[in-house]
Every structure is written in structure tokens, then in C-alpha cells.
Amino acid sequence: MAIREILRYPDPRLTLRAAPVTMFDEALAALVADLTETMQAAPGVGITAPHIGVPLAVTVIALDPAAERRVYVNPQVIATGPGTIRHVEGSVSMPGFTDEVERARPVTIRFQRLDGTQAEETADGFMASCLQHEIDQINGIFWINRLSRLRRDRLVKRALKSSRG
């Protein structure tokens, strides 16, 4: 296990769609271990392989540091509920910057487990938001693209000013 370097916004690799995982082997298990350690060190509640520059459709989520991590390989949203939910979101690739994002609730996803078996899961509340956030990242959609243009432009301006010192 190793803590990996996290790509920082506006790295263009954060806007690329990740490739599906086809090999469920020790290398994938090692990647998931690295993602878990990197997420905990960041700290964050979710991380994807693209966050560390690995263009594979893998995410790890742990809403609470004491909770067991959840691993989703090749996740995709297959259904959304009729309502929406708003949560403050941010990213390990843009630390210190957050804004409120509106997302579907509930959400049902299809994914593979670390051993390659197929599964489905329905989530509501914060978990639904986190799943959609990380699946967006896997699909090359950085979270700020879910903000209004005005809010996104203000946030980006602050973030870029902050990164210059």
C-alpha cells in the first residue's frame, strides 16, 4: 500500500473518461489499497483511480473514517428517483473548495465488486450524492461542472488565485 500523488485541478486528466476494468487481479487489489490509503490521507470520503492519474473506472468510498470502505468497479447509474438532494461537495483534487450541488435521490447503480461479480445498489441521501459525484469523475465530469456558470467561475477564480500563492 502507498499514498499516491493526487492530481490537482485544473489538470486535464481529470476531464478524461476512465476505461473499464477488465482484469480483476492482484494489481487491481493493490490499486484499491492505494486508493484507500490516499483517500484517508487526503482526507476525503471518496476517491477514484483518475484522481491519482490512473484512467480506470474504480472508486472507493468511506463516508466515515471508522466505516468500512466500499469499492465500486465499473460503476454506472442505472436509475434515479423522482426527487433531488443538495449537499456540499468538494474534491481531493481541489482541496479547501466546496459548494452545494443538487443531485438525484435516490439512485441505483450497477457495478462490479473487487472479485468481478456483478452487483446493484440503491442509495439515498449523502451516499447517493457521493456515488454520483465519483461516477461523474470516472466519466470525466469534474464536480464543479454541476454548478451554475456564475458559481463555477467564482470558485475557479478563487482556486486558481489560491494555487498561485
Locate the domains of the chain by residue range.
12-160
Predicted pLDDT of residue 96: 93
**Taking phi first (over 0 means left), then psi (-120 to 50 degrees means alpha), and beta for anything else, what does residue 116 get?**
left
**Does domain 12-160 fall into CATH 3.90.45.10?**
yes
Task: State the 10-residue block means of pLDDT for the chain, 165 residues long.
Answer: 94 97 98 97 96 98 90 98 94 96 96 98 96 98 97 93 77
Q: Which of 5, 102, 121, 134 is catalytic?
A: 134
The predicted pLDDT at position 128 comes to 97
Q: What is the pLDDT of residue 66?
A: 82
Model pLDDT, residue 162: 85
What pLDDT shows up at residue 7? Answer: 98
The label of the residue with cell 473487487 reads 114
Residue 121 falls in the annotated catalytic set = no
Indicate the pTM of the whole model.
0.96
